[in-house]
Structure 1
Amino acid sequence: MTLAPNPFATPLDLYRAISGIWSGDTSSPTNAWSPSNIAKNHCSITSLIVQDYFGGEILCTRTSGGTHFYNVVDGKKWDLTVSQFDEPIPYDDTPSTREAALADTSPEKYALLASRLKEAMSRG
């Protein structure tokens, strides 16, 4: 994997940009997304984007809603979609892969979110 040119200083900066472009057509499944819970069902796709810009590893854990994906970058856990949950996450830090995260979304949704993020960054 080759890292994308990175305009973000930290994953928190990426969160500030990506949280403004999450939508129903980028969540998996689409029909479970809500404007009142913008992070919902964006964990897998977001973990891919985080890895694109910062490298690191994709991890997963089981939750009451299914498998939840997040990242470890330079030894620090980053879960940019944790706000979707009403209760604490039982992180078990199971190693995962890009393939597993992509299988939880779709190549089309990943490409859509990645292109929207690049477009948003080019607008400043």
Structure 2
Amino acid sequence: MLTRTDAHVTTWVIAILLFILALFLHRAGKEKAFKTVQMVLRLFYILVIVTGALLFFHNQRLDPALYGLKLLGGILVIGMMEMITLRLSKRKSTGILWVLLIIFFAAVLYLGLRLPMGWHPFY
């Protein structure tokens, strides 16, 4: 089982960097590279979900409600990131998705730092 957050934090940091890279590639008009990064990003979504689920099932007894909210929020963050890249590839607007992504990411980050396994700058 996963008892430390190292693997989970590493996967979501890489996912965020790949997301930013995909945005830059799309803006530069490099569609083939954008599609490749988008596929690798989807692999990292799965890794983030798997490592997060392992942490959830191992640590939910510490605070089940907040860990459940963090799990739900994390899935929503991944969903918003995927919807943004998908809508960008179809050349559709992404305004509200960006707002939701920022809100969900801030909530998940706060919960991740506040929960017992996180770093505790808020105490």
Q: TM-score normalized by structure 1?
A: 0.30
Higher relative helix content: 2
Higher relative strand content: 1
State the structure with bigger RCO (CA 8 A, min sep 6), 1 or 2. 1
Q: TM-score normalized by structure 2?
A: 0.31
Which protein has the larger Cα radius of gyration, Structure 1 or Structure 2? 2
